[in-house]
Structure 1
Amino acid sequence: MTDAPAVGAARTGHAVVVGAGMAGLLAAGVLAGHVDRVTVVERDRLPDGAQPRRGVPQGWQVHALLARGLVGLERLFPGFGRDLQGAGAVPVRLPGDVLVLGRAGWIDRRAPGWLSLSASRPLIEATVRRRLLELPGVTVVDGCEVTALRASDDGRGVRGVVVRGDDGPVPIEADLVVDASGRGTRTPTWLAGLGGPVPDRTTVDARITYASRFYRVPDGFAADWRGLILFGDQVDNPRTGYLYPVEGGRWVVGLIGARGVHAATDDAGFTAYARRLRSPVLAEAIAAAEPLSDVHLHRGTSNQRWHYERLRRWPERLVVLGDAACAFDPVYGQGMSSAVVAAELLDASLRARRPRGDLRGLGSRFQRRLARRLAEPWLFAVGEDLRFPGTTGGTAGPLRRTLQWYQDRLEVAATYDPVVTDVYVRALGMLERPTALLRPHLVRAAARSRPSRGDVVPGPVPRG
């Protein structure tokens, strides 16, 4: 865009962020360090505290703030971990505090792994929102919907948005627009309205469903674990179960199925599903626990990626990130941490443009960098989902089959070798690049291992 004020080292200008989910809040936090004013526009009426809301239907489900996400949040909002823990989040170390049943058996718990803070999605989001609103120049406008992008006078970029609220449509001028509106993004439609090309989209869907419920932790409950992750297998038992402690002395329990298999939403069906997991440990834990909520079902779990990086023409001063650009199957817990990565890339892109004092070319370069950075978590999530028979949108080609072959053997080694386990869980936590899994010790361990589906599951290994 050529007819808007420059955004440079003097911190001038106005940025609009569409969406007040995690990706939007983090992007706004970054932008507050580069411009005078940031306006976040959210369609929902936002709650005062940590309450689920309509625009985040997955808010009832189990959420994993991976180690990479916590590190990034602490960097953006110093003291964030202290604030979240003060609000009730529970420290949990993976794998030491978590029983993880993989396809090959129980993961070795002797590995150092990484520390996370376990909390409900509404509490994580509310804590980020509170810290964001403490920054100067940041405003969150809720109950309003962005309906269109405003084209610049030369037609080569955007100069703001149109917002519909209680008083009808209102134009808002902006030097930079960030779409973080999630899976329901309208940017492809808006681009078509501006006369530009529409990006291709890749969707890989294993038909995974979530059913989650909150329980009160039983009085006097004692175990050498704090959380449970019980993975199913892709052939005989596609049922996965999660149990994690969250604020308020509660457990959040998630039961996950694929291939059309999902937990019922009534009490008896939910309990029966838990009993059919590959280990009884979760069902035994909740048998003595008091349910605190209904069962909430969530189906929008496909992997979805808009290929903005392939467009030859990109509007100036427009950025798309978060689920609006690339949404993952949430079973792998990569969404919030990927939003942190995107915010950091936005910060780096803005810093790189400062010497020139303008934003020309920022959007197209950012979309290409984001696509490259998210290629690794995308490869992992899609590769896992393509193991399920009936997954639509792709096939496991030679590269993915080779990676699956190698990963199957690494998972065997991770049941008895804490060095393998440590690198493996650090890669899952996005603290290590996937190339770390090719270190010599891990390659040798994988070569010695033989794949196992873990059909016979003995008791979990003690912490050691």
Structure 2
Amino acid sequence: MTQVPVVREPGATHAVVIGASMAGMLAARVLAGHVDRVTVIERDRLPEGAEQRKGVPQGRQIHVLLARGSAVLDRLFPGFSRDLVAAGAVPFRLPGDALILSKAGWVDRRTPGWTMTSASRPLIEETLRRRLLQLPGIAVLDGSEVTELRASDDGRAVRGVSVRRADGGDDSRSIDADLVVDASGRGSRTPHWLADLGYPEPERTQVDSHIAYATRLYRIPDGFAADWRAAMLMPRPPGNPRTGDLMPIEGGRWIVTLMGAARQHPPTDEAGFTAFMRELSDPIIADTVAHAEPVSDIRGHRGTANRLAHYERMPRWPERLVVLGDAVCAFNPVYGQGMTTAAIAAETLDDCLWAQRRRRPAGDLEGMARRFQRLLARRNRDAWMLSTGEDLRYPTTTGTTAGRILRAQHRYFDRVERAAVTDPAVTEVYARVFGMLERPTALFRPRIVAAAIRAGRAPTRPAAPTVGVPAPRTSTEQQQEVRT
């Protein structure tokens, strides 16, 4: 992708987004409805197609766009899910088309749940980037990095950024902006930039279950037939901290990701990867890929701690600067919340900008940035509590410990999982909470509480499903094979 010149028309409003991440592209889409021009500045040279890039080190691992995230993308880019499927993504129902083995047993599949569109991270990004660049007023400056925030003389407001070529070229320049959005991910330099402007650095919280993951792609065998399309084997903490997922993606492939918490990391060598897969809570994934052709190397990834920067608590905050995505709140990837929380952050920015229009004259952004950070913190809270709460089931997790209330919640959620094994009404709510369509408080409705009480303490583990097999060939197919 080539660089697009940044042109500031007299009197035109301009926003700068740091990072062409999912969060950055979604923020740019929202900003396009509020300013005349949006410039996305990205350190990587962006590929023309669905290719891996250095700035997304976890891009080869499994990615999940939950139901709420899909809904937001389809609202911002009408027909986005349809475009993704046209590009090769695979839709399936969760849990209706998926085998999900929780701590209690196989989750009831009689409720169809919601549709997941399964694809690789590069395909999701490429589809989103293509739709974004079709909008007027969007410019991309790739192969470039932001080196500092430029502020007003009194330091109260951010007025732009300084940019240079990422390859180390000596061509630094300034770009003015009415609003700057940092969506640069876990490596965000905003805390340091704020310190340079005389602001304190934010408080930080980190909860680390010491998880790592490894992924491999397989070609789906010709004629493979089963009554399911995906398999998800959940960990059983604290004894078995291992997770395994198998999902179909574009190109007639399966993506298989193994995850291990509590420092029980999946190996990236052939024998170790296979042995780890065999030690999951059920052999269904190992048996399914046993005769499938691997079509990639085994790729590992670490650096998966839950990290939260408390910008909402800052005693002072500069006007016209907002921070979102992984730059604020980054999750352990096991629960698949990252892209969906990025979509929620974009939705939150849109809400705040519309509210500012009603509150202030056009172009007056006073107070908006601080209100955004506080509202974003509230909207991230549920996902943060779910992710860190589950991680704290492991005694080796660092950062904090599970208190009495959290341990009581663990016991209750275990009962809800047992009820979800046999009760489709519970499964429906359970699936909607997992898909972030409902808040976790939905699991405390009287109907769910009663089912959880009935579920009792004894885990229920129905018989394991059968592995899919190639469908029998018809005589016509056999004759065609002989002719060819």
- Give the structure-2-normalised TM-score: 0.91
The corresponding residue for 2:202 is: 199
Deviates further, 81-90 or 235-244:
235-244
Q: CA deviation at 1:49?
A: 0.7
Alignment of 1:18-417 (within 5 A): 18-165=18-165, 166-355=169-358, 356=360, 357=362, 358-417=364-423
Q: Is the 8 A contact 2:63 2:120 kept in 1?
A: yes
Task: Give the distance between the partners of 2:404 and 2:138, measured in 1 at CA.
Answer: 48
Q: Deviations over 1:148-181 (max 9, x none)?
A: 1001122101100111113421111000000000
Q: Deviations over 1:161-210 (max 9, x none)?
A: 11111342111100000000000011111110000111100000000001
Unaligned stretches of 5+ residues in structure 2: 1-10, 468-484
Deviates further, 199-208 or 233-242:
233-242
The one-letter code of the counterpart of 2:382 is E
Structure 1 residue runs of 4+, over 6 Å off?
A: none
Q: What SS is found at the alignment partner of 1:415?
A: helix
Task: Give the distance between the partners of 1:269 and 1:198, measured in 2 at CA.
Answer: 42
Is 2:440 the counterpart of 1:437?
no
CA RMSD of aligned residues (A): 1.4
- Whose radius of gyration is greater, 1 or 2? 2
Task: Give the distance between the partners of 2:404 and 2:30, measured in 1 at CA.
Answer: 40
The one-letter code of the counterpart of 2:407 is R
Aligned counterpart for 2:463 among listed residues 452, 458, 461: 458
Q: Is the 8 A contact 2:97 2:112 kept in 1?
A: no
Task: Give the distance between the partners of 1:101 and 1:332, measured in 2 at CA.
Answer: 14
Task: Give the distance between the partners of 1:12 and 1:35, measured in 2 at CA.
Answer: 8
Q: CA deviation at 1:453?
A: 6.0
Q: Is the 8 A contact 1:232 1:278 kept in 2?
A: yes
The corresponding residue for 1:8 is: none
Q: CA deviation at 1:389?
A: 1.9
Q: What SS is found at the alignment partner of 2:58?
A: helix
Task: Give the distance between the partners of 2:411 and 2:259, measured in 1 at CA.
Answer: 24
Task: Give the distance between the partners of 2:404 and 2:338, measured in 1 at CA.
Answer: 27
- Give the structure-1-normalised TM-score: 0.95
Task: Give the distance between the partners of 1:232 and 1:443, measured in 2 at CA.
Answer: 24
Q: Deviations over 1:68-118 (max 9, x none)?
A: 000000000001011101000101100011100000111000112101100
Q: What SS is found at the alignment partner of 2:206?
A: strand
Q: CA deviation at 1:18?
A: 0.4
Aligned counterpart for 1:421 among listed residues 417, 422, 427: 427
Q: Is the 8 A contact 1:38 1:138 kept in 2?
A: yes
Q: Deviations over 1:415-451 (max 9, x none)?
A: 0000000001100100111111111110101111224
Q: Is the 8 A contact 2:211 2:305 kept in 1?
A: yes
Cα distance, 1:417–1:453 mapped onto 2, change above 3 Å = closer
Q: Is the 8 A contact 2:19 2:41 kept in 1?
A: yes
Matched positions, count: 451
The one-letter code of the counterpart of 1:137 is G
Q: Is the 8 A contact 1:109 1:461 kept in 2?
A: no
The one-letter code of the counterpart of 1:241 is G
Task: Give the distance between the partners of 1:399 and 1:76, measured in 2 at CA.
Answer: 39
Q: Deviations over 1:117-154 (max 9, x none)?
A: 00001100111111000010001111111111001122
Q: CA deviation at 1:323?
A: 0.2
The percentage of aligned residue pairs carrying the same residue is 63
Task: Give the distance between the partners of 1:396 and 1:308, measured in 2 at CA.
Answer: 24
Cα distance, 1:448–1:37 mapped onto 2, change above 3 Å = same
Q: What SS is found at the alignment partner of 1:360?
A: coil
